[in-house]
Copies of this chain bind each other. A is one copy, B any other.
């Protein structure tokens, strides 16, 4: 029932906490993890407006590259624990992309971090988690710190 899991990460501390949890999911029968990072498309639009399209493109290229590196590192850690991993890097509005990928990949559950409050990143992650919990058609696992 937890065969194929969607693990969206924003590379924050809160998402790292989820990683420790995901690592253990093999015990619960998980075989495959879809590892997802969403580049927030709204950030690039803002950058185009504030600076230039060229700057926005450069930043997007750099962020794509560094995100793929980070995703590959996490994927390797999961593979070391015997999990099959599929990497997805999407651009868009984070919660929408998470829900879209959950349907596309037909996952049995989505892992999200709990609503943190200690800094802005975590408040934002909390907000993404909350939208995923509310709108997902699939089981959501809310991992606590």
Contacts and interface: CB of A to CB of B under 8 A. Distances in A.
B137 A139 contact: no
Interface in A1-24: 1-2, 21, 24
Contacts of A141: 109, 139-142
Interface residues of A, number: 22
Contact of A133 (B21, B29, B138, B142): B142
A22 B136 CA distance: 19
Given A1-B24, A1-B27, A27-B1, A140 B142 contact: yes
Interface in A125-139: 133-134, 136-139
A141 B27 CA distance: 16
A144 interface: yes
25 contacts: A1-B24, A1-B25, A1-B27, A1-B28, A2-B28, A21-B139, A27-B29, A28-B28, A28-B29, A29-B29, A114-B134, A114-B136, A115-B133, A115-B134, A133-B133, A133-B142, A138-B144, A139-B141, A139-B142, A139-B143, A139-B144, A140-B144, A141-B141, A141-B142, A142-B142
